[in-house]
Amino acid sequence: MPPRQRAAFAMSATTARQVLHPAAIERIAAVVDVDRDVVLEGFTRAELADVELLVTGWGCAPITADVLAAAPRLRAIVHTAGTVRQHVTEACWERGIVVSSAAAANAVPVAEYAVAMIVLAGKRVPDIAREFRAARAQRDWNEIYPDAGNYGATVGLVGASLIGRRVADLLRPFDLEVLLHDPYVADAEVRALGAEPVALDDLFARSGVVSLHAPLLPSTTGMVDARLLGLMRDGATLLNTARGGLVDHAALERELLSGRLRAVLDVTSPEPLPPDSPLWECDGVLLTPHVAGSKGNELRRLADAAAAEVQRWAAGLPFAHPVRRELLPITA
């Protein structure tokens, strides 16, 4: 029997403790030779000399040309999180290393969070809950919020990313009109997702809730600017679970402080907001600390996804969720 391929874990100790649950480690160790108790937070020549596969995670050091020189047998990287931009360098692609990511697994809780917030925002739950707490008495909420509710409401999705697509799919059972804008996706494909393809201006003007799912790229930085925000109707909600840099925060702050718009912000720029930011006390804003992605027991899904990819690789099969170098310029 030929010797099994050699693998190693490369991530922060905290990530390893939180993500690499015992069952996933055993699945990996069943098909490759890996030291269950060793996690590389940095790289040395001796540690990498015979490694063919790296199982990486948050906190992995960049895999540079110097690192690769110390790892002459490295052929594959399986990442237990989403983007690989922070550690998979151009040198990895030049060598022809195959890369997998758990982005699809991490998209699940983000999409669930987004759908939950879309429904709550449409029903004006954050506003009603705040006013109910202040009044400590029942009010005629139909009279106060006659436009609240999700029946026939319009939701706009910006970006047909893994998360955006899953959000569109999860919204199918609801009585909503779903709009979607993505310049890289054909109209027929958008319709197949159960959404109406629209221009960005149209999406912002028509939607009661706009949910951002675009990657942060030079071309998308600050794309949600004062002009687009100005197109949103009074009382509309901006939901951001993507990246804070997609939004011109000065422009958004002006709209939120005026009371014209509302927002659910799981990400901001900077992150977190400064302690003196007026958005902390703004009635129309729900701030959460970047919790839409995998948290708690959801981290197990990331390790399970990585273990499945390691099993495929050890069996000589292609990755189910490969990262494609040619798509990096338009993906997260």
Q: Burial level of 238, CB count in 10 A (0-12/13-18/19+)?
A: buried
For residues 214 and 136, give the distance between their C-alpha atoms in angstroms, rounded to a whole number: 40
Catalytic, 243? Answer yes
Residue 96 CB burial class (10 angstroms; 0-12, 13-18, ≥19): exposed
Q: What share of the chain is helix, strand, coil (3-state, %, to 5)?
A: 40, 15, 45
Whether residue 196 lies in the annotated active site: no
- Distance between CA atoms of residues 198 and 160, nearest Å: 12
**DSSP codes joined into one string, 130-190:** HHHHHH-S---HHHH-TT-S-TTEEEEEE--SHHHHHHHHHTTTSSEEEEEE-TTS-HHHH
From the candidates 79, 87, 243, 262, give the one annotated as an active-site residue: 243
The one catalytic residue in 75, 95, 254, 290 is 290
> Among this protein's residues, is 227 annotated catalytic?
no
Tokens encoding 225: 């600017």
Q: Please name every residue paired with 247 in a beta bridge, in sequence order, or none if there are none.
A: 224
Using the structure block, give the residue that is written with the tokens 């919790």.
291
Active centre residues (catalytic): 243, 271, 290
